[in-house]
Amino acid sequence: MLFMFPGQGSQKIGMGKDIYDAFQSAKDVFHEVDDAVSFKLSNLIFNGTEDEIKATQNAQPALMAVSIAFVKVLENEFGIDIAQKAKFFAGHSLGEYTALCANHVISLSDTAKILRIRGAAMANAYPTNGVMAAIIGLEADIIEQIVIECSSDKEIVQIANDNSVGQIVVSGHCNAVEKAMKKAYEANAKKVILLDVSGPFHSELMQNAIPEITDALRCIIFHTPVKPIISNVTGKAEINNFHTLLLEQITKRVRWRESILFAESNSISKCIEIGSGKVLIGLVKRISPQMELISVNSVESMENFAKAL
């Protein structure tokens, strides 16, 4: 089994409220995260506004908290340690931190702290003149050529997320991204969408975020994972060097399609997404249609999953 954890974009107000209300161990997760980030993030998650939960510094630790609440309830209430059940873990961008936490590599408190810092650093790294756009319906090699043609010494655009077959996100300077969007249409892309995000994530324009995140990561103790984690940066299973990989992740592409193909090539036939939404389930469905897909994003779905194990 591959256990997967969602990234930014899966957040919504009220996520995780049902498990919070139903289980003390879930409450404990949210309260520990509140203490780690020094404010009532749980109240924002359950009662805040869409703008508040969308803010990168809030969305990142919030999504992690929801996923880990399910993980801890499975462990404490149902006796299921997913690290023992998994062959691999993976997470989309910030979800890789959640994967590390669920796999006993870094503590819950440390994960919350670093994601709060990471989110703020990324939001502030390039606050103007940077955007991201999703390109639907073109192969990766075509988009590789497009971003090369649209980049220059002064303005860049690069692939930020290789999400699935025919779904790629580009990131960079506004003008360069707009040129790439135009060329994508000319190359018969089915759809090109400018994304509502606060910066050009997973591009070289995120360099200013690295010093602050580097300092934060120095304070974190990394333990040996129980099971390998498929890295966003390499698209392959990793068991160490997470400090470096997490820093490289800031400016490099998320190799999600390659990660799922790696899992498939290593005999994975079942993927379980734990946390808010079903974004990763949708991506995997397009990458590996034969995969058995399970979403654990509510008390009911968690209980059904636990009974089926």
CATH of residue 111's domain is 3.40.366.10
**Mean pLDDT across 264-271:** 98
Residues 100, 249: one domain?
A: yes
- Is 177 found in the same domain as 101? no
- The pLDDT score that the predictor gives to residue 299 is 98
User: Residues 284, 308: contact at Cβ < 8 Å?
Assistant: no
Task: Give me the domain span that covers residue 164.
Answer: 130-197
Output the domain CATH number for residue 135. Answer: 3.30.70.250
Residue 150's pLDDT band (cuts 50, 70, 90): very high
Q: Mark whether 158 and 71 lie in a shared domain.
A: no
Please tell me whether residue 269 adopts helix, strand or coil conformation.
coil
User: What is the predicted pLDDT for the residue at 301?
Assistant: 98
pLDDT, tens digit, for every residue of 268-307?
Answer: 999 999 999 999 999 999 999 999 999 999 999 999 999 9
Q: What is the mean pLDDT of residues 211-232?
A: 96
* Judgement on whether residues 6 and 111 belong to the same structural domain of the protein: yes
End-to-end CA distance of the chain: 11
Q: How many domains does the chain have?
A: 2
Q: What is the pLDDT of residue 72?
A: 98
Looking at the structure, tell me whether residues 120 and 172 fall in a common domain: no
222 and 274 part of one domain? yes
Of 165, 197, 229, the residue that ends a domain is: 197
Residue 198 has pLDDT above 90, yes or no: no
Q: For residue 244, which phi and psi values (nearest 5 degrees)?
A: -65, -45
Residues 148 and 290 in one domain: no
Let me know: does 67 contact 98? Beta carbons within 8 Å.
yes
Counting every residue written for the chain, the total comes to 309
pLDDT, one tens digit per residue, over 99-127 is 999 999 999 999 999 999 999 999 999 98
Band (pLDDT 50/70/90 cuts) for residue 139 is: very high
User: CA of 197: how far to CAs of 41, 193, 273, 305, in Å?
Assistant: 20, 12, 23, 33
* Tens-place pLDDT, residues 175-196: 999 999 999 999 999 999 999 8
Identify the domain boundary among 197, 230, 253.
197
Annotated catalytic residues are 93, 202
Q: What average pLDDT does the segment 123-140 reach?
A: 94
Continuous H helices in 231-274:
242-251, 256-265
Q: Domain check: are 178 and 245 in the same one? A: no
Given pLDDT bands bounded at 50, 70 and 90, which one contains residue 248? very high
Q: What is the three-class DSSP state of 223? A: coil
Percent of the chain scored above 90 by pLDDT?
A: 98
Residue 127: per-residue pLDDT: 86
Distance between CA atoms of residues 89 and 98, nearest Å: 10
CA angle 226, 232, 200 (to 5 degrees): 140
Residues 90 and 234 in one domain: yes
pLDDT at 309: 86
Residue 49's SS3 state is coil
Mean pLDDT for the chain overall: 97
Q: Is the pLDDT of residue 230 over 90?
A: yes
Amino acid at 129: N
- Are 95 and 186 within one domain? no
3-state secondary structure of 118: helix
Same structural domain, 155 and 221: no
Do β-strands 191-194 and 237-238 pair in parallel, antiparallel, or remain unpaired?
unpaired
38 and 10 together in one domain:
yes
Domain boundary among 158, 178, 197: 197
Give the DSSP H or E segment for 294. strand 292-296
Tell whether the model's pLDDT for residue 197 goes beyond 90.
Answer: no
